[in-house]
Amino acid sequence: MSSKIFLAGATGLLGGRIAGALLDRGAAVRALVRPGADEERRTALAALRARGLEVVEGDITDPIERLAEAVGDATTVISAVQGGPEVIVDGQANLARAAEKAGATRLIPSDFAIDVTKLDDGDNFMIDWRRRAAAVYGDTSLDVVSVLNGAFYEVMVGFMGIVDWERGTLSHWGDPDQPLDLTSVADTAAYTAAVALDPEASGTFRFAGEVVSFRQFHQAVQRGSGRELELRHLGTADDLRAEIARRAALTQNPFDYVALQYQWCMVTGKGKFDTLDNARYPQITPQPVSDFVRASA
């Protein structure tokens, strides 16, 4: 497929990986980059530009006419942006309208998460934002193609607070045997690139690097790290829901409890994928949790 891809969010962790995966496959990629990137991001961009990435300066909140000029002759637009509702809702809605005006035919929004189609309003405020943005996409002529990956390995092992390396614990809520969909950032990027370059790809795609329970995740992290971690049970799914409500009453910042909202959606099985689409792209062999942890140690 020789059509050009337009990518917003190329300086982020996932966006940079998507750009690299597309370039690896010989795609023509134009990236929208906000002015004033820090040194680390400029270095990453320079490496991608050396591989053929075309860069245009701008922002997804720019006036539609200007943003449409940036999209140019791209036929598929990928959004890998992160942020608050001004980015996820307003910015992506603006990007969709600009993409339509420029003549693009497909949009892959920044949906990378658990199964957003199965959740209700209030289950997870970040998913709510994505659903609000999707209502706008539905009013355009674009073919909206969602890529879902469950939870990132990086998030599970990192900032979500599940693994505490100093205390030697791995903590969870709910049933330790409830299956979870997990994928690395690199593999999510590879699947996104495959979808973007697949002319027949349409609708919602669900991919997972591994489907494991918290008990199996604990075992995989131990194997990969070579460390013994205590598996700690923090309470039931109902206890977790109560803890979310307690924290929500104490703060005006929903990001203080969003990690718990994601965990609730996962441990209840509400955000679980019913089927996987990995087999559509057999050339991609996703990395197991234990190998990821071993490589990250």
Output the average pLDDT for the chain. 95
What is the predicted pLDDT for the residue at 2?
A: 54
pLDDT tens-digit readout, 165-206: 999 999 999 999 999 999 999 999 999 999 999 999 999 999
In a domain, 34, yes or no: yes
pLDDT of residue 66 exceeding 90, the answer is yes
User: Residue 214: helix, strand or coil by DSSP?
Assistant: helix
Task: Classify the C-alpha dihedral 242-124-151-175 as positive or negative.
Answer: positive
Which residues are paired to 170 by β-bridges?
163, 231
The domain in which residue 117 lies consists of 4-148+185-207
Higher per-residue pLDDT: 219 or 137: 219
DSSP 168: T
Residue 231's CB is within 10 A of a number of other CB atoms, namely: 16
pLDDT tens-digit readout, 19-41: 999 999 999 999 999 887 677 77
User: Of how many residues is the chain composed?
Assistant: 297
> Which of 138-142, 166-170, 277-281 bottoms out in mean pLDDT, i.e. has the lowest?
138-142
Pair of tokens at residue 106: 């497909």
| % the chain with pLDDT above 70 | 99
Look up the CATH number of the domain holding residue 13.
3.40.50.720
Higher per-residue pLDDT: 172 or 138: 172
pLDDT of residue 45 exceeding 90, the answer is no
Pair of tokens at residue 126: 């970040």
In a domain, 267, yes or no: no
What is the predicted pLDDT for the residue at 171?
A: 97
Tell me how many domains the chain contains: 1
In a domain, 232, yes or no: no
pLDDT of residue 286 exceeding 90, the answer is yes
pLDDT tens-digit readout, 157-167: 987 889 999 99
pLDDT of residue 1 exceeding 70, the answer is no
What is the predicted pLDDT for the residue at 3?
A: 77
In a domain, 22, yes or no: yes
In a domain, 68, yes or no: yes
Return d(Cα 278, Cα 59) in angstroms, integer. 33
In a domain, 132, yes or no: yes
Return d(Cα 211, Cα 138) in angstroms, integer. 31
